[in-house]
């Protein structure tokens, strides 16, 4: 039976915040109710879906907390109703069936967050408090969604930093505005240089966590022996050199967003520890005996095919499902060349401002060259080209000859062929039935081809002691093509192959 109660704790100021708790176990329902009353919330309860429908028809709530399994249906039906009716209540789902599949199912259905029974009351209070802060964030996200198709104004918001009005970019912006409203983990996928961190910043800025910290972590740049201390913190004296307590990334991102860039580079041992932290919402610093509850939203990013890494045993499947609740695919620049003029203008303004110069107009000649260039490095490569052009420019109009090398033309042709005729690029019709059944069609052909090319080139370089001339001869490529592929595929060369100024030492192959 539904009840309405007032806060019994005189030390806690009463608020007008209304919460509906739906659970078929009377003892648990009472426990949740009393916990929320002590926090100053006004609470109503229901023991099944029928009672919940009556409550929802009578009034608007700030949050709904529901069990996954009820006597007359699933708590997901409440999520469906709230979404269809465009209600603003944030919904928290509780379940004793704490599998990754149930968590993913509830979050994809629109839940703000989920809790696994038996519920830790400290965690319960933190998640509810986070959900209650939601109306302002919800309104911001809804307003952003309405203005996604409009030209950006002069104000510097994170969403407006995603320059472009092409259909692929408008789709990305609309998805950002939508997913920002929940706590669901987001996996941002895209090639290097496409702006994955900007997408993560936009998700944070559009959410109710915008006033909290945004902590970005490059998972591939941390030495393996320091990963645990960097992520979870350490107590003074817990290891050699630990002269004082230090907080980790999870503590630094409390009440905000933790962005895990290049998540695919984490070693398996650390993946296991990260999975536990995300599942339990608590961490233990090195040298500590106390679990510390953390309230962070996880946004991760990768240029790799994580599903392929899962199949190959390089990435944990359970962690993959935890991180990939909602996916945002950032389009490569070659799929949105219509955004090039606006991107060039924005980047030129930024480069000129940082250099203390005035930005010249971009010549049509240079723009045409850029439109024909492969731009495999995406926005990062475009910025590099414009930076070089501005540094060498001595006129009122920016112009430069872009190096259209043979391998660039070859790469461009390959990309066009892969993008426009991927079906013919994988000629399954010409294969025998037994081979066709074994053929795995990749979700991202270009990323798959890049991975294969990098693996082959790395192996040949290792077998030739990183002599690029020998590697080029073996692969029937020119030395210039080898250099281009090493740079574009981010292949790490030994220190002995690099000169003091960071440039590849050409004398190694020239025999000097």
Contact 148, 170 (CB under 8 A): yes
pLDDT digits (tens, 9 = 90+) for 419-457: 444 333 333 444 555 555 556 677 667 777 878 888 898
Half-sphere exposure of 54 (CA within 13 A, CB side): 10
Between the ranges 114-118, 240-244, 306-310, 412-416, where is the mean pLDDT highest? Answer: 306-310
Decide the pairing of beta strands 69-70 and 73-74: antiparallel
Q: Which residues contact 351 (CB under 8 A, 6 or more apart)?
A: 359, 383, 386, 387, 390
Q: Which residue has the tokens 């912006």?
A: 173
Computed on alpha carbons and rounded to an integer, the radius of gyration of the chain in Å comes to 27
Share of the chain above pLDDT 70, in %: 78
158 pLDDT more than 70: no
| pLDDT at residue 146 in the model | 44
Mean pLDDT of all residues belonging to the chain = 79
Q: Which of 84, 80, 47, 79 lies closest to 64, judged by CA?
A: 79
| pLDDT at residue 187 in the model | 95
502 pLDDT more than 90: no
- Please tell me what DSSP assigns to residue 332: P
373 pLDDT more than 70: yes
| pLDDT at residue 192 in the model | 92
pLDDT digits (tens, 9 = 90+) for 32-80: 999 999 988 999 999 999 999 999 999 999 999 999 889 998 888 998 8
Q: Where are the alpha helices (DSSP H) in 281-339?
A: 306-311, 317-323
| pLDDT at residue 14 in the model | 45
- Give me the domains of the chain, ranges plus CATH numbers: 4-132 (3.40.50.2300), 137-329 (3.40.50.300), 335-404 (1.10.8.60), 415-510 (1.10.10.60)
Q: Which residue has the tokens 């414009």?
A: 386
pLDDT digits (tens, 9 = 90+) for 385-427: 998 888 888 777 888 877 654 444 444 444 444 444 433 333 3
pLDDT digits (tens, 9 = 90+) for 131-146: 887 544 444 444 444 4
At residue 121, what are phi and psi to the nearest 5 degrees? -65, -30
Question: What number is the average pLDDT over the span 364-371?
Answer: 88
Question: Token pair of 171, please?
Answer: 């789709």
237 pLDDT more than 90: no
380 pLDDT more than 80: yes
Element (H, E) at 188: strand 186-189
500 pLDDT more than 50: no
384 pLDDT more than 60: yes
Question: Token pair of 476, please?
Answer: 């029937």
Which segment of 252-261, 329-338, 484-493 scores lowest on mean pLDDT?
484-493
12 pLDDT more than 60: no
| pLDDT at residue 227 in the model | 93
Which segment of 209-223, 286-300, 434-448 scores lowest on mean pLDDT?
434-448
Long-range contacts of 334-338 (CB under 8 A, 24+ apart): 334/374, 334/375, 334/415, 334/419, 335/168, 335/419, 336/164, 336/166, 336/168, 336/169, 337/371, 338/164, 338/165, 338/166
- Nearest 10 degrees: Cα torsion 38, 39, 40, 43: -80
């Amino acid at each position: 039976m539904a009840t309405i109660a007032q806060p019994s704790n005189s030390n806690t100021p009463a608020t007008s915040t209304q919460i509906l708790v739906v659970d078929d176990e009377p003892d648990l329902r009472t426990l949740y109710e009393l916990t929320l009353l002590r926090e100053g919330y006004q609470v109503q309860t229901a023991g099944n879906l029928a009672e919940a429908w009556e409550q929802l028809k009578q009034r608007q709530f700030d949050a709904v907390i529901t069990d996954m399994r009820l006597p007359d249906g699933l708590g997901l039906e409440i999520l469906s109703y709230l979404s269809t009716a465009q209600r603003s209540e944030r919904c928290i789902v509780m379940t004793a069936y704490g599998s990754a599949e149930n968590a993913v199912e509830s979050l994809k259905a629109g839940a703000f967050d989920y809790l696994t029974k038996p519920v830790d009351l400290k965690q319960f209070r933190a998640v509810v408090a986070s959900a209650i802060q939601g109306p302002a964030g919800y309104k911001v996200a809804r307003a952003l969604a309405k203005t996604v198709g409009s030209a950006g104004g002069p104000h510097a918001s994170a969403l407006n930093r995603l320059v472009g009005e092409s259909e692929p970019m408008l789709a990305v912006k609309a998805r950002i505005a939508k997913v920002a409203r929940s706590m669901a983990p987001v996996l941002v996928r895209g090639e290097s240089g496409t702006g994955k961190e900007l997408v993560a910043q936009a998700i944070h800025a559009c959410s109710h966590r915008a006033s909290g910290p945004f902590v970005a972590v490059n998972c591939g740049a941390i030495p393996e022996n320091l990963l645990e201390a960097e992520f979870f913190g350490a107590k003074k004296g817990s290891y050699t050199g630990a002269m004082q307590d230090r907080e980790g990334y999870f503590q630094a991102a409390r009440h905000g967003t933790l962005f895990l860039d290049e998540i695919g580079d984490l070693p398996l041992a650390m993946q296991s520890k990260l999975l536990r932290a995300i599942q339990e919402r608590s961490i233990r610093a090195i040298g500590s005996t106390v679990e510390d509850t953390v309230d962070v939203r996880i946004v991760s990013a990768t240029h790799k095919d994580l599903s392929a890494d899962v199949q190959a045993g390089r990435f944990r499947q359970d962690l993959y499902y935890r991180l990939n609740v909602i996916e945002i695919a950032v389009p490569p620049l070659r799929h949105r060349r219509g955004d090039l003029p606006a991107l060039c203008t924005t980047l030129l303004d930024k480069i000129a401002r940082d250099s203390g110069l005035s930005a010249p107009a971009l010549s049509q000649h240079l723009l045409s060259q850029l439109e024909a260039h492969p731009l495999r490095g995406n926005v990062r490569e475009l910025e590099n080209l414009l930076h070089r052009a501005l540094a060498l420019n001595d006129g009122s109009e920016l112009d430069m000859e872009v190096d259209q090398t043979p391998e660039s033309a070859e790469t461009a042709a390959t990309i066009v062929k892969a993008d426009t005729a991927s079906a013919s690029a994988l000629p399954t019709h010409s294969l025998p039935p037994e081979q066709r059944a074994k053929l795995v069609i990749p979700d991202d052909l270009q990323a798959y081809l890049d991975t294969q090319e990098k693996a082959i080139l790395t192996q040949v370089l290792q077998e030739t002691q990183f002599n690029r001339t020998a590697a080029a001869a073996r692969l029937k490529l020119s030395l210039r093509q080898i250099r281009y592929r090493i740079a574009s595929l981010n292949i790490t060369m030994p220190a002995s192959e690099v000169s003091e100024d960071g440039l590849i030492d050409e004398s190694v192959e020239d025999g000097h």
